[in-house]
Chain A
Amino acid sequence: AQSVAQPEDQVNVAEGNPLTVKCTYSVSGNPYLFWYVQYPNRGLQFLLKYITGDNLVKGSYGFEAEFNKSQTSFHLKKPSALVSDSALYFCAVRDTNAGKSTFGDGTTLTVKP
């Protein structure tokens, strides 16, 4: 069975500082990995994904994520956080056999001015 862990319920950073939201996964085969963001009272929005190729993927709003196969991790990063980045972030995994998507429990990111 596949699973996703987001070890931090909450991440707090100051505006302008780099941010990292952690994600580790477990799948039986090769993974497809995704990050989504949810703003209050809204549905999830796609940020970026890893399918194959370069381990560093770039996405919307200046976010990027690094796929690390040996550590089974896919941490979300941004060099300089904005207050407007404050939201709930979800990591998701899907195995290459086109099975269901499994989401982590989410990490609330708060960026303080």
Chain B
Amino acid sequence: KAGVTQTPRYLIKTRGQQVTLSCSPISGHRSVSWYQQTPGQGLQFLFEYFSETQRNKGNFPGRFSGRQFSNSRSEMNVSTLELGDSALYLCASSPAAGGGNEQFFGPGTRLTVL
């Protein structure tokens, strides 16, 4: 099976712009989670989607949003970018939502905000 894929892998934006990141989960996986990884803050949970519904949300401002499509692919959007949004954004999929299911991570999208 192909792994989790994320596009684009690298992105450079300027403050105030918006960005959309895409994630394709492993075939058959219906749960997708997003994380922000930075050197100072570690791995921070953004949100989790299952069957097109947001199940959990982390402590991020409303500028961060996401959605999941019927084929389980997911997108996250960040509007009005700030310098502090520079980070590695990781997507993870699992067969089902929550509990004891391990997550399979993509390689990430490296976002740089200038």
Contact = CB atoms under 8 A, between A and B. Distances in A.
Nearest to A49: B102
B100 interface: yes
A51 interface: yes
B4 A43 contact: yes
Interface stretch (B14-22, B70-78, B79-87, B105-113): B105-113
Contact of B107 (A43, A94, A99, A106): A43
Interface residues of A, number: 23
B45 A102 contact: yes
Contacts, number: 54
B104 A101 contact: no
B99 interface: yes
Interface residues of B, number: 23
Contact of A98 (B43, B58, B99, B106): B99
A43 B108 contact: yes
Nearest to A47: B102
Given A99-B56, A100-B45, A103-B43, A94 B106 contact: no
Contacts of A15: none
Nearest to B47: A100
A45 interface: yes
B104 A46 contact: yes
A32 B33 CA distance: 17
B103 interface: yes
A5 to B, nearest CB: 11
Interface string A27-66: 0000010101000011111100101000000000000000
Interface of A: 32, 34, 36, 41-46, 49, 51, 90, 94, 96, 98-106
